[in-house]
Amino acid sequence: MRGHIRKRGKNSWTIVLSMGFDSVTGRRQQRWFTVKGTKKDAERRLSDLIHQVDSGSFIRPSKTTVAEFLEQWLSDYCRPNVARKTYYGYSDIIQRRLIPGLGLIPLTELRPETIQRLYAKRLESGRVDGKGGLNPRSVQRYHQCFHRALKTAVEWGLLSRNPTDAVKPPKARSVEMHILDEDGIRVVMRAASGTPYFCLFYLALCTGMRRSEMLALRWSDVDLALGSVSVTRSLHYLSDGSFDIRAPKTAKGRRTIVLPSSAVLVLKNHKERQEAVFATAGRRMEQTGLVFCRPDDGSPLLPDTVTKNWIRLVQREGLAGVRLHDLRHTHASLMLKQGVHPKVVQERLGHASIGITLDVYSHVAPGLQAAAAARFDEQLGFITAIEAGQKDPVERRC
């Protein structure tokens, strides 16, 4: 007999799995498992264990807990293989979310229903401040991290299969895109003109650059004579208080963006003011220095500080809900509406493919189609008029 089931208690069963005989001692080998639920649940578990033994995918139970494995995964796999920002993001999720909920469970006893239950609990009451549940997008990030970690556990031979494969994370709500019209742009930029962040906000509007790309921009990346900026890196603030500056993820992310003349003028004025501030402090502005930095020591700006200043600005002007990232969306939408080829827009934004650009800005497509139809009619209108005035094509051939 390959294994059998014994009743252990109310809604609890013990599975005794036969593992054959030890080749050295000749003793019978058995493994014991506990299953909570009905007898049918225990029978399914026994059948699954027997299949694992027969297929060679059975993993001998280990005392390693989920917490011990996740900490090992962070140190042995993540630290040398992923970007620093990704590592700190995973570390935060694991230490604050996964270990408190699942850490004491032996890794080999982790079940999909346990993970699904944790996700549901986090959606109801997962906020650190105790004020309600987490956003579905946050729980989805936890799932992605956990899935990647347990995939490594399978590759290392610690698990026979990934339990998160049978778990459904919540669907994330899409973030609403706010596109500023001409009046909105005028209001925002007029309000920003008296702040230290005017140049940064204006550059975001004129180039579609990401916040992380602008904060990593150096004066050596700016060519005021030719009117262009080169995007070669991005800056991220890590949870340990340090900055991570690295190259873009894709080759398309490295790009040169041609500036409108107004942006060149704004950058020139910004540079002159920065040079004056540095001179007053008795320091020289280096060409390799940051375009946007703290005036006292030239160190990078905190990304959250920039965003908070933007939020205060738009709220004061009655445009609450418009994000700093929406300047990037506004830039792309305006260019597409002006008839700029989507390929050019893709290159300016640094999207990996034109498909991404067209998917993100599909809301502009109806207007583009109408404009295209009008231009087509303008080019071939005389032919259309001639054809419309003639009789049936069969009669014309006679």
Query: What are the per-10-residue average pLDDT scores of the chain (398 residues)?
Result: 81 82 74 84 86 68 86 95 93 94 92 94 83 89 96 89 94 85 95 95 97 97 97 93 90 95 96 92 86 92 96 95 96 90 94 90 72 69 56 48
Same domain, 51 and 70: no
Same domain, 252 and 343: yes
Instruction: Give domain status of residue 109, yes or no.
Output: yes
Last residue of a domain, one of 32, 55, 78: 55
pTM beyond cutoff 0.95: no
Instruction: Give domain status of residue 378, yes or no.
Output: no
pLDDT at 398: 43
pLDDT at 394: 47
Radius of gyration of the chain, Cα coordinates, nearest whole angstrom: 30
Instruction: Give domain status of residue 376, yes or no.
Output: no
Which of 274, 250, 270, 255 lies closest to 203, judged by CA? 270
Domain count, the chain: 3
Same domain, 34 and 87: no
Q: Domain span at residue 193?
A: 182-360
Same domain, 21 and 78: no
The string over 149-178, giving b where at least 16 C-beta atoms fall within 10 Å of a residue's C-beta and e elsewhere, is bbebbbeeebbbebbbeebebbeeeeeebb
Element (H, E) at 315: helix 303-316
Residue 317 sits in a domain of what CATH number? 1.10.443.10
Same domain, 12 and 158: no
| DSSP 8-state code for residue 185 | H
Same domain, 317 and 240: yes
Phi-psi region of 350 (alpha: psi -120 to 50; beta: other; left: phi over 0): left
Check if the beta carbon of residue 62 is closer than 8 Å to that of residue 108: yes
Instruction: Give domain status of residue 49, yes or no.
Output: yes
Same domain, 126 and 262: no
Residue linked to tokens 């995939």:
151
Same domain, 337 and 210: yes
Last residue of a domain, one of 166, 191, 225: 166
Chain-centre distance of CA 138, in angstroms? 11
CA-based angle 253:255:260, to the nearest 5?
Answer: 125
Instruction: Give domain status of residue 374, yes or no.
Output: no
Instruction: Give domain status of residue 392, yes or no.
Output: no
The string over 232-253, giving b where at least 16 C-beta atoms fall within 10 Å of a residue's C-beta and e elsewhere, is bbbbbbeeeeebbeeebeeebb
Instruction: Give domain status of residue 191, yes or no.
Output: yes
pLDDT at 329: 95
pLDDT at 199: 97
pLDDT at 286: 85
pLDDT at 194: 86
Distance CA 210, CA 195 (A): 20
Helices (H), 94-181: 99-102, 112-125, 136-155
